């Protein structure tokens, strides 16, 4: 019986192969998740209007659906769902159900960066007078009741787009 596999040995081999395959898939999945959230943009100082042939009138503008979480209780009016608007170098937060912005900050005063892969928010924004805000952005509707990992992968692209627009409007982008 030296080289013969008995039934228990064959079952053990199959179970071992399945366990190795599952571990490899889990490892690949975690690697993919971390790789997707790896910053795809270097640390960039503010870009002055007019640099690289871009006129001041061509400063990036846009509007993103957003979920904003203030780091301190004093900033609760800045927390919640709404829209982040970037217009003429000014970033504004307009809460859902409101027509007016509750906060307007020149982009030049903002520092922004990515949170780690498993954080609840995609980005952090810091403005000296306001403090730190944790922000998730999307061009599409943001889920309010539950997380959706597949949508989150798409929203990471929107976060990069938002950071590029902020940089073009004069913000400092960090890792």
What digits encode the pLDDT tens for the residues 90-99? 999 999 988 8
128-164 b/e (C-beta count within 10 Å ≥ 16 → b) = eebeebbbbbbeeebeeeeeeeeebeebbebbbebbb
pLDDT over threshold 60, residue 173 = yes
* Alpha-carbon distances of 99 from 57, 94, 96, 152, 167, rounded to whole Å: 25, 7, 8, 27, 26
Report the SS3 class of residue 159.
helix
Beta-bridge mates of residue 5: none
Token output for 172: 């400092």
pTM of structure: 0.66
Q: Minimum mean pLDDT among 91-100, 127-136, 152-161: which range?
A: 152-161
Note the pLDDT of residue 38: 44
What digits encode the pLDDT tens for the residues 26-85? 877 766 655 544 445 555 555 554 444 444 456 688 999 999 988 665 555 667 899 999
Q: Which CATH number fits domain 51-173: 2.30.29.30, 1.10.3470.10, 1.10.10.10, 3.40.50.720?
A: 2.30.29.30
Burial class (CB in 10 A: 0-12, 13-18, 19+), 106: middle
Note the pLDDT of residue 160: 87
Which residue ranges make up each domain of the chain?
A: 51-173
Note the pLDDT of residue 4: 61
């Amino acid at each position: 019986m030296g080289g013969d596999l008995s039934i228990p040995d064959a079952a053990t081999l199959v179970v071992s192969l399945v366990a190795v395959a599952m571990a490899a898939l889990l490892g690949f999945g975690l690697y993919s998740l971390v790789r997707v959230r790896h910053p795809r943009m270097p640390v960039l100082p503010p870009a002055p209007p007019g640099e690289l042939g871009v006129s001041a009138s061509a400063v990036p503008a846009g509007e993103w659906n957003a979920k904003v979480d203030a780091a301190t209780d004093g900033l609760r009016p800045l927390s919640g769902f709404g829209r982040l608007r970037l217009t003429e170098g000014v970033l504004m937060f307009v809460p859902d159900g409101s027509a007016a912005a509750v906060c307007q900050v020149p982009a030049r005063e903002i520092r922004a960066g990515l949170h780690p892969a498993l954080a609840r928010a995609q980005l952090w924004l810091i403005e000296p007078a306001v403090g730190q805000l944790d922000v998730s952005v999307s061009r599409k509707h943001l889920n309010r009741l539950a997380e959706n990992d597949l949508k989150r992968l798409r929203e990471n692209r929107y976060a990069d787009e938002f950071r590029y627009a902020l940089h073009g409007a004069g913000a400092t982008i960090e890792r």
